[in-house]
Amino acid sequence: MKRFILLFIAGLLIASAPAVADPPATIPVGVTIAGVDVGGLTPEAATATIQQEFQKPLRLAVGSTLVLVTPDVLGATPVIDKAIERALVAQPYSAVPLGVTVVSGTIADFVAKLAQRFDRPAVDSKLYLRNLRPWLSQEHGGRKLDQRRAVRDINTALAAGTREELRLVMTAVKPKVTRRNFGPVIVIRRNTNGLLLYDGMRYRRFFAVATGQSRYPTPLGRFTIVVKWKNPWWYPPPSPWAQGQKPIPPGPDNPLGTRWMGLSAPGVGIHGTPSDASIGYSVSHGCIRMHIPQAEWLFNHVDVGTTVFIVAA
């Protein structure tokens, strides 16, 4: 039975039905917002659904590790109101994008922290002397998070509303120094007056040399070649044995021969000598003498920076 309300208007008794509110608006069937089906929902219900879906964590694969991070940590907030407005007037089964605002720099800061955690520097091969021979440790490659690409991909995932696993790109970092490319190494055996040249750990060639006499011994240790000179001048060192002597220009009488490979040990170098008879003996003032043709050959096969081990063997 219908209920009537009696109204007295201008002395007349009028019967009328109560006012009925319009039904709440709903989003057309099949409409999605950022991939979430909101068809048939009211704006309030759709807002709650989108908010719940948006706050699900992103799944970031970094190497073999899965990192879960919620959008609020990334400074991301969905612009739901505008998306709902568009959804209400959209055609059925339409896809409506969801705007997302992000606090500037938040994603980049988060990605930078990931890089600190997961980046691995490359490890170069290191040189040691074992059993009087060069030995090189095994090099190892590194990895580096592509931060710019990661920021872009995370922004894209937030805008698309996707929560599928997102693999962040790690780029390989190659070591600069390896066993294969290490280069020449010299080992000088002072007691037996021999110079051995290696290519990394691989033996290459032996040379008989002259080393320092007992009063001026060739120093022991690890050194590097710091300078290379062709046709060098000889200058008297500040030592008692050279007092009163004058510089000698390049030529057949130069005690350094035609090549000088100066070491990081002060005043000590590898050089040629016109005194071939001294080779094989401990007669120099600390330097390492070679036959001139052999010194020229060695000069062409080593570089500034080449390691020189001098041992008492």
Active site (catalytic) residues: 271, 287
Given strand 307-311, what is the order of strands in its sheet? Answer: 202-208, 194-199, 184-189, 307-311, 221-230, 259-263, 269-273, 288-291
- Does residue 288 contact residue 210 with C-beta atoms inside 8 Å? yes
Buried b (16+ CB within 10 A) or exposed e, 273-299: bbeeebbeebbbbbbbbbbbebbeebb
Rounded to a whole number of angstroms, the distance between the first and last alpha carbons of the chain is 120
Q: How far does Cα 44 stand from its chain's mean position?
A: 49
